[in-house]
Amino acid sequence: MEIETIRNTDPEVAELIEKELERQQTTIELIASENFTSKAVMAAAGTVLTNKYAEGKPYKRFYNGCENVDKIEELAQERAKKLFNAEHANVQPHSGAQANMAVFLYAVKPGDTVMGMDLSNGGHLSHGSPVNFSGLYFNIISYGVNDNGEIDYDNVRELALKHKPKLIICGASNYSKIIDFKKFKEIADEIGAYLLADIAHIAALVAAGEHPSPFPYADFVTTTTHKTLRGPRGGIIMCKKEHAQGIDKAVFPGIQGGPLEHIIAAKAVALKEALSDEFKQYAKQVVLNAKALAKSLMDEGLDIVGNGTDNHVMTLDLRKLKKTGKDIANILELTGITANKNTVPNDPESPFVTSGVRLGSPAATTRGFKEEDMTEVGKIIAEAVKISDTKDENKIKELRQRSLNLCKKYPLYKD
């Protein structure tokens, strides 16, 4: 990283960047929506491409001088299409939420009925939360999960037949089971609705064949590029050719101005990496590591929503222990593990407190962790939960050292 260049201009910012690097190097990252990019992806995001305005699509810009960014953006589009077997890709969305916003702008009108997974049950803000644009401007019908943490597809169908949404959203930010995209498509077809699959969390698993693909079924597929895909912070929309022109117009001029061409270059690099055999092995290991972590936690007597995971994510259910997600996430941070508080189905606590902690395996897998390492992580977490009331300083120090030993075993950005 070009830290010396930054330090020469702004030593305060440089110092904070260095501290953040140290935090990442010495912490086990279990936030399911975070990951570590390659140095090549980071380098692409910090290039002279940040200087270029390029409103419009490749070869149809409103600015001159776009001959190079046109080719880079085209590369990103083609790589996304190849990776996911998609008919069309728009790589300009600045985030996953904005990718979803563009689909809303194209597919429905304010006041129309839209069905999505409830945020407290594992959905995303942009799937209909009342504090988000999706909930503020549309009539939202929410579905959730049963006591086993699974989507009840019969209930989804009943809701769809009753309320006749024009758009159905499947996909989640915290769902540990396999999503049956075919069933969602059957429900959508029954009422003549569009189907949007938001695969922001499982994109790498879909790309590598570790999770069924939505592409044979969904009209639109959105994803972030910075979670399991290990790219820069951004979004992508993919769709059938019949929707391509409308989606492109919804992105620009619909919801965005100039695209971030330096980030699109980083997306292109990440997508090339994702087409490699090494990436397929990584995605496979993500699932193996998540299963190993879930088993370790359950072996230690902790509850997991749905009793395990089929993908990269799981949620600790702390209700039986009468502990909160907020407290456990804080004690974990003291022991060198970063996670986030999260609601569990039918959570009695507020979203600011919660009864759960979401845990994910992608970042640790990128770092090099294997199943035996995740088993040790599970034991550290279980010990931290046990001492969360007393906050035994000696025990915290011991657990912190165990976490640090794992970090040292798999150095981050050292070579």
In terms of residues, how long is the chain?
415
Contact 55, 251 (CB under 8 A): no
210 is catalytic: no
Read off φ and ψ for residue 95, nearest 5 degrees. Answer: -160, 170
Chain centroid, CA 293 distance in Å: 19
Rounded (10°) angle between helices 393-409 and 325-334: 70
The three-class DSSP label of residue 65 is: coil
The three-class DSSP label of residue 89 is: strand
Rounded to 5, what percent of the chain is helix, strand, coil? 50, 15, 35
233 is catalytic: yes
Task: From the candidates 55, 300, 349, 371, give the one annotated as an active-site residue.
Answer: 55
224 is catalytic: yes
230 is catalytic: no
Dist CA 82 CA 366 (whole Å): 23
Dist CA 46 CA 79 (whole Å): 21
Task: From the candidates 53, 137, 153, 410, give the one annotated as an active-site residue.
Answer: 53
227 is catalytic: yes
198 is catalytic: yes
Task: From the candidates 233, 272, 284, 370, give the one annotated as an active-site residue.
Answer: 233
List, edge to edge, every strand of the sheet that includes 356-360.
Answer: 303-304, 313-317, 356-360, 340-342
Task: From the candidates 27, 37, 223, 224, give the one annotated as an active-site residue.
Answer: 224
Task: From the candidates 57, 79, 185, 227, give the one annotated as an active-site residue.
Answer: 227
Contact 155, 145 (CB under 8 A): no
Task: From the candidates 198, 210, 261, 347, give the one annotated as an active-site residue.
Answer: 198
Give me the helices (H) in 192-260, please: 203-207, 244-249
* Burial grade of 39 (CB within 10 A; 0-12, 13-18, 19 or more): exposed
**Which residues form the catalytic set?**
53, 55, 198, 224, 227, 233
